[in-house]
Structure 1
């Protein structure tokens, strides 16, 4: 199969996927206003204020009920999807999964060639790309949540200083703050309303979000409930600490920017060079494939590149 035909397949697949996705969006969802910044409040308005039904539906859409167990690959993937905040129906999840598998199969055939290895490695490549996309969405959502968290804590502090109980302060954050923190604190308020303990509800929110800073808030509230003390003052100090942590993270990101860009370039350069050579001289690598060792060479090089990428990632990544 020539390169031009493969490219045609890729473009046709992308066009069909986008078209089907657009049709499904139009058929299964309502047109939402751009000004709707809190998904939970919007659903409450659409559902006539039925708090219990909205709560159950939000948990269902976020895959926060049921699941594949607490351990294993499927549980990990479910947790990553839940923390990404994506709300896709089962049909669309299946559609995207099939689409990424086909994309991986075509991409592997274009880069390495056909054969039995393509049937196995192609779908694995597609699923890996899909997981990376979901993890990217998850990372962006957690980052936005952490940026909003100090403001939410300040709202809670002011509400506590005004004499309101903690549950009322949490509900206020759920009403006043935009997503993602607005809907998450709204779900937390719903759980408290329906009888859950605060510690359990905080742990559930931590599992839905996955932010380390939220764990600090959960521990702070739990310890204060057991030992006593001025919760408003404790939360005010926690808010300042989270802000300082964000400043340090931004400084480290700026300092390591050059190294991170270098690692990305080094990771994609071999694939870009291979694509350019194949485009200019399609028969350049024919001797490699005809030798019978082409697949083994490519697999070995990919394994070496994977180790190299891991080393580069560790060099430019800072944990604090």
Structure 2
């Protein structure tokens, strides 16, 4: 292979990044385990587990002073990931450098630049995917949440107390998000503001309906219990419908992912049959332009497939 040194450097860098992340997670797990053992030895105290040690503190402090850093931090906060903006940016930069060397060595140097652009898009898409994944998990917990709130209000508890109790009983992400709402209410925030921010963090029609129901019931003093009971039944039906739609569209989603991968497979096949063909193809402006157009068409095809198969339930 002509670019074996570049490929070796890229693979080594990527292995180093994965090793750092692995050691980082291992140290965090050991620290939490030790803290848990100490709590159990003390008789199960209520002290919270200390957070893990943050890496790249200097980078994180500099990023917080920029608009980009604040935007990244807000996006990470909506995903529930245990990352700082500095850690995320350093990891992304390391992966982009590794992609440049690896793709440039396997295909051609020009494709390394395209891989960096695709990596930047992928880093943003990863945060979006994590947010959607967390929102979907929260939606799946909504029937249980409304059931807990209905039982608590039927027992005579105030809505604020019912939210705090639900935060303790439910798992993440509902428990964590409701814990944030309960903390905001404890420091004097209004119910409208706290629930409104919850709907902004996890945007979904189901959550908007729940938030609107709770806010209107709190303002007008209506029958919260009966409203929550009816809402629980509706959410259960929507949950089953969403599961059926997801199962039906799974093949289309796989097709949307396979379309760009086929293009990469063809490039590998061409380069294997005629070594150096990709270098010659991207050695001129015409070849580079044609390559960019071809990749754009593949991306457009995948986007259109996903767009056509998107069904709002």
Any conservation in 2 of the 1:83–1:138 contact (CA below 8 Å)? yes
Partner of 1:251: 244
Q: Which of 266, 277, 289 is equivalent to 1:284?
A: 277
Superposed, which structure 2 residues align to 1:152-301 within 5 Å? 152-301=145-294
Which of 138, 145, 163 aligns to 1:145? It is 138
Partners in 1 of 2:85 and 2:173 — Cα distance?
A: 22
CA distance in structure 1 between the partners assigned to 2:194 and 2:275 by the alignment = 59
Judged with a 3 Å threshold, the aligned counterparts in structure 2 of structure 1 residues 292 and 79 are, in CA distance, closer, same or farther, namely same
- Between stretches 230-239 and 219-228, larger displacement belongs to 219-228
Which residues of structure 2 form unaligned runs of 5+?
37-43, 52-63
SS in 1 for 2:282: helix
Question: Which deviates the most, 295-304 or 7-16?
Answer: 7-16
How far apart in 2 are the matches of 1:81 and 1:67?
Answer: 16
Change (3 A) 1:112 1:313: same
TM-superposed CA distance for 1:186, in Å, is 1.1
Change (3 A) 1:122 1:273: closer
Alpha-carbon distance in structure 2 between the residues aligned to 1:233 and 1:86: 36
**Structure 1 stretch displaced more, 103-112 or 251-260:** 103-112
Deviation per CA, 1:190-232, whole angstroms, max 9, x where unpaired? 1111110001000122223334322221111122233332011
Maintained 8 Å contact 2:138/2:173: yes
Residue matched to 2:16: 16
Q: Which residue of 2 aligns with 1:32?
A: 32
Q: TM-score by structure 1 length?
A: 0.79
Decide whether the 8 Å contact of 1:104 with 1:125 is kept in 2.
no
Change in Cα spacing, 1:77 to 1:272, as seen in structure 2 (3 Å) is: farther
Alignment of 1:127-142 (within 5 A): 127-142=120-135
The aligned counterpart of 2:89 is 94
Partner of 1:309: 302
**Which sits farther off after the overlay, 20-29 or 261-270?**
20-29
Contact 2:3 2:106 in 1 (8 A): no
- Structure 1 residues 18 and 77: alpha-carbon distance in aligned structure 2, compared to 1, 3 A threshold: same
Question: How many Å apart are 1:108 and its aligned residue?
Answer: 5.2
- Count of residues in correspondence between the two structures: 293
Greater shift, 103-112 or 258-267, is seen at 103-112
| Deviation per residue, 1:43-73 (Å, 9 max, x gap) | 962279xxxxx9xxxxxxxxxxx8977xxx8
Distance 1:165 1:266 in 2: 53
- Equivalents in 2 of 1:44, 1:110: separation in Å? 54
Asked whether the 8 Å contact 2:4–2:105 carries over to 1, the reply is no
Over residues 77-130 of structure 1, what are the superposed CA-to-partner deviations in whole Å (9 max), with x where a residue is unaligned? 544322210121344223212213213433553476336x956x5543222121
In the aligned structure 2, how far is the partner of 1:67 from the partner of 1:163?
47
Verify the 8 A CA contact 2:107 2:271 in the aligned structure 1. no
- For normalisation by structure 2, the TM-score amounts to 0.81
Is the Cα–Cα contact under 8 Å of residues 108 and 278 in structure 2 kept in the other structure?
no
Give the match's secondary structure for 1:87: coil
